[in-house]
Chain A
Amino acid sequence: AQRVTQPEKLLSVFKGAPVELKCNYSYSGSPELFWYVQYSRQRLQLLLRHISRESIKGFTADLNKGETSFHLKKPFAQEEDSAMYYCALLNTGGFKTIFGAGTRLFVKA
């Protein structure tokens, strides 16, 4: 079964501390993986995708097929990073995007 698991519902870190939001997936093929973010009172929006291999707002995510993980990392968290983060999987050749339950990141001053 296709599944995306985000084990932490809430993650609280201090400003300047490193942050890692965990994501594990279950998929038999070659998935495309994404991180979406929803800031307070804003719409859900794409943060980054694994095929782009880019760093957005200081965040990076590496696909680890051996561990079936796609953790989101940032070396120094900022207060403006406080938001809800969703990991998502798109099945190759399909159009169905499967989202995790989300992790709320709270960055304390």
Chain B
Amino acid sequence: GAGVSQSPSNKVTEKGKDVELRCDPISGHTALYWYRQSLGQGLEFLIYFQGNSAPDKSGLPSDRFSAERTGGSVSTLTIQRTQQEDSAVYLCASSLYGNSETQYFGPGTRLLVL
């Protein structure tokens, strides 16, 4: 079946604008993760969903970042009032049940804030 998909693949926005990034996990996967990959950095954990709930939001860098997941499937990551330091690749991953299950990654959304 299809893997994890993300849209858009690239997004250029102006500082101060809001952006929405979308993730479609593998069908049937209950766990969903968002990561951020800045230039020269490793992957930074942002948030984890089990079903529609997010038991761990500790990685969200500021209150400008929020995420939701509906129907146990699609998730959106919203960044309000974007700043230049938000420029990065945002990766989504899903796994069957979570915890130590293998995570399957999407292709990422490359965000550039001018």
Contact = CB atoms under 8 A, between A and B. Distances in A.
Interface of A: 4, 6, 9, 32, 43-46, 49, 51, 86, 88, 90, 93-102
Nearest to B93: A44
18 contacts: A44-B43, A44-B105, A46-B102, A46-B103, A49-B100, A86-B43, A88-B43, A93-B99, A94-B56, A95-B50, A95-B56, A96-B59, A97-B45, A97-B103, A99-B35, A99-B42, A99-B45, A101-B41
B90 to A, nearest CB: 13
B7 to A, nearest CB: 15
Contacts of A51: 100
B59 to A, nearest CB: 7
Interface residues of B, number: 27
Nearest 5 interchain pairs by C-beta: A99-B43, A101-B42, A99-B42, A44-B105, A95-B48
Contacts of B48: 95-96
B26 to A, nearest CB: 12
B56 to A, nearest CB: 6
Interface string B16-33: 000000000000000101
Contacts of A94: 56, 99
Contact of B105 (A4, A45, A95, A102): A45
A46 B35 CA distance: 15
A5 to B, nearest CB: 10
